[in-house]
Every structure is written in C-alpha cells, then in structure tokens.
Amino acid sequence: GNSVTQMEGPVTLSEEAFLTINCTYTATGYPSLFWYVQYPGEGLQLLLKATKADDKGSNKGFEATYRKETTSFHLEKGSVQVSDSAVYFCALRGNYGQNFVFGPGTRLSVLP
C-alpha cells in the first residue's frame, strides 16, 4: 500500500538558518503530494501541495518539488523564523481516489 517516510525529529535550528525536511513516498501511479503544518494547540493546516511530477508547491517561503525519479517531496525554506516552530507532516493521496496517508511528522524548533 501507499506509505510516507519523513526524517525523524526534532529538528532544532537558529533563526535565519536553512531548513530541509526530507520526505519520500511509496505509491503506485501518480499520487498528489502535500505538506501540512500543525502549530502548537492548533489543527493541521495545508502548507503546500503538488499534483504532478516536477511541480513545485510553495507558500509562506516554503517550497517542495515533486520528484518522481527519487519519489521525494522534500520541504525547504531559505530562512526560518521562530514562528515556523511547529510539526510538519508530509502526506500523499493516491491518484485512484484513495484517501490521505500521512507521514509521522517532524517537529521543528527555531531558536531566536
């Protein structure tokens, strides 16, 4: 079945550092890929998405590129802020209408 693997956290960075959170997936066909973010005490929010190979999703300075050849969707941000501290979830949705499969989440802490 479909699955998502993320780098383990927690990830601790200083403000303005470069962020990469790795995500790889296993799925048949051409799934859609997503990053969700969960801020402390809040529900999950969609951060960005990509629906086909080579698409780049971007939002709030975050980017991720759908790489079918490496089955990856790594999340990057050039300069993190303290307000980016949250848990980040990589997820996929199969292209046969299957429901979402989420990765385990990566906790990011950004120190001032």
Distance CA 2, CA 55 (A): 20
Cα–Cα dist 67/106, whole Å = 20
Task: Write down the least CB distance from residue 105 to other proteins, Å.
Answer: 6
Nearer to other proteins, 47 or 80 (CB): 47
Any contact of residue 28 with other proteins (CB under 8 A)?
A: no
Could you tell me the CA-to-CA distances from 72 to 5, 12, 14, 42, 66 in Å, in that order? Answer: 9, 22, 25, 27, 6
With CB under 8 A as the contact rule, the residue among 19, 27, 35, 103 that binds other proteins is 103
Q: Which is nearer to other proteins, 48 or 80 (CB)?
A: 48
| 104 binds other proteins, rule: CB under 8 A | yes
Give me the least distance between CB of 85 and other proteins, in Å please. Answer: 18
Strands 19-21, 23-26: pairing kind: unpaired
Q: Is 99 in the site for other proteins (CB under 8 A)?
A: yes
Q: How many helices (H) and strands (E) does the chain have?
A: 0, 12
Tokens read off for 92: 């996929």
Contact residues for other proteins (CB under 8 A)? Answer: 4, 32, 41-46, 51, 89, 91, 93, 95-97, 99-105
